[in-house]
Structure 1
Amino acid sequence: MREEAPLYYNDKHDFYAVSRFADCERGLPDWRTFSSAKGAVLELIKSGIEIPPGTLIFEDPPLHDVHRRLLVRVFTPRRIAALEPMVRRFCARTLDPLVGERSFDLISEVSAEMPMRVIGMLLGIPEADQAAIRDTTDESLRTEAGGPMDYSAGTHFTNETFADYIDWRRDHPSDDLMTTLLTAEFEDENGVTRTLTREEVITYVTVVAGAGNETTGRLIGWAGSTLARHPDQRRELAADPALIPGAVEELLRFEPPGPFVGRYVTEDVEFHGATVPAGSAILFLVAAANRDEARYPDGERFDIHRRAGQQLTFGLGAHYCLGAALARLEGRIALEEILKRFPDWDVDWAGAKLAPTSTVRGWETLPLVIGH
């Protein structure tokens, strides 16, 4: 597609797509032309349903900026850095029981556990309840293989499971994200200084839990499969952990958990001599753009020594991923701790299975065979 159909049109599902780095770099920050207000997933954009306020990823400035500023207070560099020892503890607790095993499923044992613990800790959700929260979040993202997401019930925006915690936290403040969201004063789009409503807090927490859990788990899965296919580079990382941050960047470029981003086109716009009409849905295929030879020489090759610079996995512009620093931190610590205990593994490919969702791409099962 990058070579032969740089502006692609899909007749069956009625959407456009661009796959070159330069086109994604141009379009993603341009929120006036390529709006998020109808959603960032194709099915959602086409559904035309009303999206509740506070669904940050599905808003445009200036409203988006009002809501994002609130969350920026939560995801400060200081707060993220302070998580490192706790993330490492979760990781050790997850991995230590697996030492000595000849094989285990990286997804159920590690990918599905660690991000859930971190987000649960940020939100102040008791450990005993974290798995149930994760499972309801994951379930809302799943599709039948080849089938679309169903937005008819509106369940993707608010997870009522959080309501009880929010009510409890309002009466028992703590040093967590939920308390910050409940108590932070801000000036809303109407110039009124206020705190968030209960419904708004539920929406925010749902967005943070969904975004933080699913994608980071997928990243850890891609680390497992990609390094199994590149054992020489895995051995280098095991021998020199200082290379791991660069390897995480290359993993994000090479196998992004979110392979495309949808937008609604607000006015006629031209790509490659053709017009995309106002009212269209367009997908920015960031996974393809991340391998564009024009931007990354030998882009189809995985190379932990690559100095990739700007890549599109976390987006660009107003919607640049708020949790990027947290995802990098979790990816780095997971790799450090996995390689410390398991420097050598292969994958039982017959048992590996990709998960069907419309938003993220990754492994549902990835059985590792240790010390082959």
Structure 2
Amino acid sequence: MTISADNPSAPDAATAAELYYDPYSVELNMNPYPVFARIREEAPLYYNDKHDFYALSRFDDVNKALIDHETFISGRGALLEIIKSGMEIPPGTLIFEDPPIHNIHRNLLSRMFTPRKVLALEPQIREFTARCLDPLVGTGRFDFVNDLGEQMPMRVIGMLLGIPEEHQRRVTDHGEATLQSTQVDLLATGEVFAEFIDYRTEHPSNDIMTDLLTVEFEDETGTVRRLSRDELLMYLTVVATAGAETTTRLIGWAGKTLAEHPDQRRELAENPALIPQAIEEILRWEPPALQIARYVAKDVEYYGRTVPAGSAMLMLVGAANRDHRRFPPDGDVFDIHRELRSHMTFGAGTHFCMGNALARLEGRIALEEILKRFPTWEVDWANAVPSPTTAVRGWEAMPTFVS
């Protein structure tokens, strides 16, 4: 059942029958925006009785809720299926933690994603991107995902973690399998990293894995210690999966979106200084993660209705990012010249994505190098393949005809 925003005490029969959002529908999640637009206006507090969750869709509501980590907690999971499973969350799962333990773990990682460390990677990222693209010049074809999108982020995570190039594919496959599994299988153990931890223990280097192996911190009990092996394995899983998969999706969406807006693509090819702003608009327009789930720790009221403690709440990032109240005059218009305003793609509050600068850097380099070589392209829709994941949505293949 959904409730009308104008009369929150009474359901509208037609709306209740027609307005439905299924977060598990891969097909719907490839273009959820017509449904999101209706939810924003007709049911700003939406309830889905089939899957038993509430949802917020307006930018201000989503932003404030994500910041309110006392009402909306992460410790039961940040995906609807995990919250509903009631599973026990392994320690060190940064994205599924609440303060104060989350702050302690986040501080450990944040020192490893400093602007200096991120920018220092630019020459290596650009060199690898050129290595991927140069052999394709003159072939007439380029796949945004298979030829670059799934390779570049994996390589960057490998650079950060110190994982040898020949083993990086295995790590990426592990992350993909994590996203495609369901229920209690959603959280992998991180054992894929075990041999690298053992190697770095004996052979320290200038990388995140060595930093995490040696860093000392004061935990929630006041004890000064190092990370346990299980904590470290989970840390590495979170960093590798979150860091690689989302950027892969960003590059795929960039290919589709700019193919559909050739005039703006032409501007970017002629004036690469516009590319950082274009990346920001692509992130707003097609966020890889459409929603963020939270467990409701205490009763909370929206639009005259009470959401009871124990409920699951979805923050509809994809809906908030197109809210005309935040992005006037029309959030459903793609515009690389739009006035820059923060969006929800990287979240908000204590769980704001630590890798945001790295994702932006990778997106910028990818577009700069692609447009240098391929200023125009058309999507080969007969061979485009949506990803079967719903947690992070996008394309497994985004092939194009280039010129």
Normalising by the smaller structure, the TM-score range is over 0.9
Structure 1 length as normaliser, TM-score?
A: 0.96
Structure 2 runs not aligned, ≥5 long: 1-38
The answer as to whether partners of 2:289 and 2:391 remain within 8 angstroms in 1 is: yes
**TM-score under structure 2 normalisation?**
0.89
Deviation at 1:359, TM superposition (A): 1.0
Residue 222 in structure 1 maps to residue 260 in structure 2? no
Structure 1 CA distance for aligned equivalents of residues 251 and 142 of structure 2: 14
CA contact under 8 A between 1:137 and 1:159: conserved in structure 2? Answer: no
Show the counterpart of 2:24: none
- Say whether residues 1:361 and 2:399 are aligned partners: no
Q: Distance in 2 between matches of 1:158 and 1:246?
A: 38
CA distance in 2, matches of 1:151, 1:136: 16
C-alpha displacement of 1:281: 0.3
> Which one of 284, 288, 297 corresponds to residue 253 of structure 1?
284
Q: What is the one-letter code of the residue matched to 2:354?
A: L
Give 2:61's aligned residue: 23
Q: Which residue of 2 aligns with 1:344?
A: 376
CA contact (8 A) 2:259 2:378 kept: yes
C-alpha deviation, 1:222, in angstroms: 0.7
SS at match of 1:264: strand
Deviations 1:313-332 (A, max 9, x none): 10110000000000000000
CA distance in 2, matches of 1:24, 1:158: 31
Residue 48 (structure 2) aligns with:
10
- Give the whole-Å Cα distance in 2 for the aligned partners of 1:208 and 1:29: 22
8 Å Cα contact 1:52-1:157 kept in structure 2: no
Structure 2 counterparts to residues 276-287 of structure 1, below 5 A:
276-287=307-318
Asked if residue 208 in structure 1 is aligned to residue 239 in structure 2, the reply is yes
**In structure 1, distance between residues paired with 2:275 and 2:178:** 33
Q: Matched residues in 1 for 2:228 and 2:173: separation?
A: 26
CA distance in 2, matches of 1:60, 1:330: 29
Query: CA offsets per residue over residues 313-352 of structure 1, 9 Å max, x none?
Result: 1011000000000000000000000001100101012221
Amino acid of the structure 2 residue aligned with 1:352: A
Q: Kindly indicate whether the alpha-carbon contact (under 8 Å) linking 2:178 and 2:188 is maintained by their aligned counterparts in 1.
A: no
Match in the other structure for 2:206: 175
Q: Deviations over 1:19-62 (max 9, x none)?
A: 11111011011010000001110000001111111101000000
Q: In the comparison of the two structures, how many residue pairs are matched?
A: 364
User: How far apart in 2 are the matches of 1:307 and 1:294?
Assistant: 13
Amino acid at match of 2:331: G
Is the 1:87–1:330 Cα contact (8 Å) retained in structure 2?
Answer: yes
The superposition leaves residues 56-94 of structure 1 with CA deviations (integer Å, 9 ceiling, x where unpaired) of 100000010010000011111110010111111111111
Give distance in 2, aligned partners of 1:60 and 1:133: 27
Mapped contact 1:218–1:361 kept (Cα < 8 A) = yes
Identity %: 63
1:75 pairs, out of 113, 136, 145, with 113
- 1:193 pairs with one of 224, 233, 242: 224
The answer as to whether partners of 2:82 and 2:184 remain within 8 angstroms in 1 is: no
Q: CA RMSD in A?
A: 0.9
Alignment-derived partner of residue 166 in structure 1? 197
2:336 to 304, 309, 322: 304
* Alignment match, 2:99: 61
What amino acid is aligned across from residue 321 of structure 1 in structure 2?
Answer: C
Check whether the contact 2:287–2:345 (CA below 8 A) recurs between aligned residues: yes
State the secondary structure of the residue aligned to 1:199: helix
Shift of 1:360: 0.8
1:52 alignment partner in structure 2: 90
State the 1:104 CA deviation: 2.9
Contact 1:41 1:262 in 2 (8 A): yes
Asked whether the 8 Å contact 1:158–1:203 carries over to 2, the reply is yes
Distance 2:359 2:126 in 1: 13
Matches of 2:201 and 2:106, distance apart in 1 = 21
Partner of 1:40: 78
| 1:106 aligned residue (144, 159, 164) | 144
